[in-house]
Structure 1
Amino acid sequence: MIDEKFTGNGKVLLLAGGGKIYTDLAARFVRSERALEDIAASPYSRRIVENILASGHRAALEFDFFLFGIEGYSRVTETQLVRKRLASYLIKSGRAELNGKRRFSVVYPREAAEFQAPVTLPDGREARLSGRDLAELTRQWYDAGLSAGLPEEDLRYLKPQATEFKAIIGMNAHALLDWFAIRCCRNAQHEIRDLAWKMLRLCRRAAPDLFAGAGPNCVQLGYCPENALQNARCKGRIMTKDEALALLREHGRHSPRREEFEKE
């Protein structure tokens, strides 16, 4: 039988990161004329970190790095995850020859696993199959291929996107804030949103000063930049970017005009 798991139950561990924070040291180095040894010996400054976050000058955040171990997520989420290129990924191999010892693990929504639909088999017979049935048939085909001596790197082409992936992920604090802004949003696909929120909770515990204001864009910006694409559950509760700009104009607080910059 297949090793079946359901979305929302993935595991995330913080393997490294937090404790000593280097963002304040990096920021102090840029502005201070003191000797490097003196800067390195300076006590940690929460105020400097808060100023960096408030100013939006996030380059110093790239000197704090966090390492996560994850399992129990599907290849669907892997595809979305690796779109964030400012990160390091080490993904458990699906190619290595394990002589049939590889677990045929799938992760999918319970509704998709249980949904049944009529299908026509190649020999013309009719059948009703669930998502779970399809995964089990693929497992049987895969095992038969192993027994026939086909290499696993070829057999895996027919594995479903529900196949579980396991990985080690490394991101610096700057990249994490950007990633949380997108993937903690209610518009994100539910499985990667689950991953993002679990990572964020770990980061908040490990480095609360760095991640106190972290979260989806609406938390970090104070408005939703999605505008017309705003999630239905947020409409009327969270101001959109267009609504925020309209409110500023109404109160006469316009953005600087181009001609004001051209005078310089």
Structure 2
Amino acid sequence: MFQPDIEIIAHTPNPEKVCTAAVKQTYKKMHAKELIKNTSEEEVEKLLTNIAKLGHFSTLEHACFTIAFKDVSVLFEQFLIEHRLASYSAKSRRYVDFSEAGFVIPDYFEDKPEMEEKYRKCMLYLFNSYKNLLELGIAKEDARFVLPYSFKSSIIATMNLRELIHFLYNSIYGHGKEFSEIRKVGGMLLNKMKKLCPTVLRYFDILEHKGNASILASTYESSKSEGVELLWHTPSPDKSIAIAALIKSTNLPTALLKDIKQEEMERIIQSVVRSRRPRELEQVNFTFRINNVTLAILTHITRHRIHSPLIPSLASIEKSSSYVIPKGIKENKEALKIYREAFDRCMEFYRYLKSKNVPKDILAYALQSGNFITIITTMNARELYHFFRLRTCLRAQKEVRNIANNMLYLVRNVAPLTFKNAGPSCYFYGYCTEGKMKCNRFKEVVEHYKAWHLSPTKIPGL
């Protein structure tokens, strides 16, 4: 049945010895090289045992591991990339043909041959629909919306030991434990890691607090709201950034800075925005509710690390009969028929599974990439600039580009001085950063955002 391929393809040599030397660095005069050379197995055992029991885990961050996950579902991939202190590389669903990717068959069906057969037939139907859409000339980034969340993915992740322990804990005891696939992958990886870090992972069960995975028990319902909402933000964001910059550079009393004039505020903020280290932008935060984003585009947003997304468990989502229909499919009658039938067939199968009281984690495999989810996320102004440079670019997928332009419109109206330079990279830098993949519309895009910033009364975007 479900047989993922998990391999640790690279790691810090002698990881536990390196971590032990880092502990000794805090109280020994010896040079780091000598510390590692003179660290005995007895010291590794003693010091790392103390670290595990006391909870002083920062020294574990000196050991890093690169892991290749193969034949896991995209459901697992979404769980994985929510761990932000790591680096990920996955195959692009926008550019890679997934016709032959295959799909995960959960162990749950092992003794249920009739149900397994229905599952296989539904998944094959969806993959055939995807293939047929490609043959009609539909772009991969649009055809992918019919793919189920069971389809197989390959992803490489790099984490330090502390974050890896956190990921394993979440997989086995945390919000991942409700998914049999995630528990299984977590257990397999833990067994491999125990061979490399036997001392630390001997205490795996006490390394993190076993809190509840969720404080609320409820069924997630589809949102009737649309678009992006700015829920709340740091009060007076422009003024907050300017005052933060002045405190940093002058150390004047805060009371003297509160009456800063508009012209001075604008000059300071522009200097901050154009600096190479605009930490002042990190002092203000903006919280958004993003309604009805597709599961496919959720990954585009999650990949941005420096924000705080709140994403409902896919086990709690009720599959909705509504889904995205891209423009390219709407305009092709044959493709539209195939597309709609794919969603109808999958919904029929989903209802069948529900009627058989199948566990919620298995139901999640019948979600499709074009189904909707609503999330909340908080970003500071610096991360928003980064997000806008990438996601308002014409090379960004249309749905995430629309989301980014909506967010830009909202923040531009509450922090006009801070975000007067925000937009795609070509607008911000004055040149295109996309190399051979450029859109060849540089002048048009720059002029569009320049004109919009002069009168930001509606959502931007070409």
Q: Tell me the TM-score normalized by structure 1.
A: 0.73
Higher relative contact order (CA 8 A, sep 6+): 1
> What's 1:38 paired with?
255
Q: For residues 178 and 199 of structure 1, do their structure 2 counterparts lie closer, same or farther at Cα, with a shift above 3 Å needed? A: same
Which of 221, 244, 250 is the aligned partner of 1:26? 244
How many residues align structurally? 218
Output the CA distance in 1 between the equivalents of 2:260 and 2:347: 57
> What's 1:66 paired with?
286
Q: Which amino acid aligns with 1:20?
A: S
Runs of 4+ aligned residues of structure 1 deviating over 4 Å after TM superposition are 39-42, 236-239
Quick check: 179-188 or 43-52, which moved more?
43-52
> What's 1:50 paired with?
270
Q: Is the 8 A contact 1:74 1:108 kept in 2?
A: no
Matched, 1:178 2:386: yes
1:100-139 correspondence to structure 2 within 5 Å? 103-112=320-329, 116=334, 130-139=338-347
Give the % identical residues: 27
Q: What stretches of structure 1 of length at least 5 have no aligned partner?
A: 1-5, 118-127, 240-264
User: How far 1:112 sits from its partner (Å)?
Assistant: 3.1
Q: Which amino acid aligns with 1:28?
A: L
> What's 1:153 paired with?
361
Residue by residue over 1:110-165, the C-alpha shift from the partner in whole angstroms, topping out at 9 and shown as x without a partner, is 44366536xxxxxxxxxx95111110111111111111111222111122111101
Q: For residues 83 and 187 of structure 1, do their structure 2 counterparts lie closer, same or farther at Cα, with a shift above 3 Å needed? A: same
Output the CA distance in 2 between the equivalents of 1:86 and 1:33: 28
Q: Which amino acid aligns with 2:295?
A: R
Matched, 1:205 2:413: yes
Q: Is the 8 A contact 2:242 2:268 kept in 1?
A: yes
Please provide the CA RMSD for this pair.
2.8
> What's 2:233 paired with?
17
Q: Is the 8 A contact 2:246 2:252 kept in 1?
A: no
User: How far 1:48 sits from its partner (Å)?
Assistant: 1.8
Matched, 1:187 2:395: yes
1:201-240 correspondence to structure 2 within 5 Å? 201-234=409-442
1:157-172 correspondence to structure 2 within 5 Å? 157-172=365-380
Q: Is the 8 A contact 1:75 1:161 kept in 2?
A: yes
Q: Which amino acid aligns with 1:32?
A: T
Q: For residues 108 and 14 of structure 1, do their structure 2 counterparts lie closer, same or farther at Cα, with a shift above 3 Å needed? A: same
Output the CA distance in 1 between the equivalents of 2:393 and 2:226: 18
> What's 1:262 paired with?
none
Q: Which amino acid aligns with 2:273?
A: L
Q: Which amino acid aligns with 2:320?
A: R
Residue by residue over 1:176-211, the C-alpha shift from the partner in whole angstroms, topping out at 9 and shown as x without a partner, is 001100111111111111111111111111110010
Q: Is the 8 A contact 1:19 1:206 kept in 2?
A: no
User: How far 1:55 sits from its partner (Å)?
Assistant: 3.0
User: How far 1:29 sits from its partner (Å)?
Assistant: 1.7
User: How far 1:92 sits from its partner (Å)?
Assistant: 2.8
Q: Which amino acid aligns with 2:290?
A: I
User: How far 1:237 sits from its partner (Å)?
Assistant: 6.1
Q: Is the 8 A contact 1:76 1:162 kept in 2?
A: yes
Output the CA distance in 2 between the equivalents of 1:212 and 1:155: 45
